[in-house]
Amino acid sequence: MVPVWVQNVVRIALIVAHLAGLVVAVILLVRRKGTAPILATVAFGLLVLLDAARIVQTALLPALSRQVRAPRVLPWIGGGMTCCCGLLDLIAWGCLIAAIWMGMGGEEGVKSET
């Protein structure tokens, strides 16, 4: 099992990478209006929030487990957080893929066919 501090170092590196992507997406949004920059900004914003939430979850879940009196509830708490974060992660990556597709000219290709 990987120590918690190693997991958090990796997550901090991911936050930095996603923050860089968010900065580039915001600059692109200011320079060029359209659907692709909006989707990229939303995607990178969600990814930054999810990375921060995972660090908080790692820090708070042991404290929460000490407070809960019924140990049977703990898998439900962890599973609920993981399910919610996984759904938001899927939405963020879907937005990012759609932004890349639209930015590469997929949006213009559809318009030229019709």
Q: Does the pLDDT at position 2 exceed 90?
A: no
Q: Does the pLDDT at position 114 exceed 70?
A: no
- Dihedral (CA of 4, 94, 38, 25) sign: positive
Dig out the tokens for 35 from the structure: 């659907």
Give the span between the Cα atoms of 83 and 16, in whole angstroms: 24
Query: Inter-axis angle of helices 35-67 and 4-31, to 10 degrees?
Result: 160
Q: Does the pLDDT at position 14 exceed 70?
A: yes
pLDDT in tens, 48-75: 998 888 888 777 777 766 777 666 766 7
Q: What pLDDT score does 106 carry?
A: 55
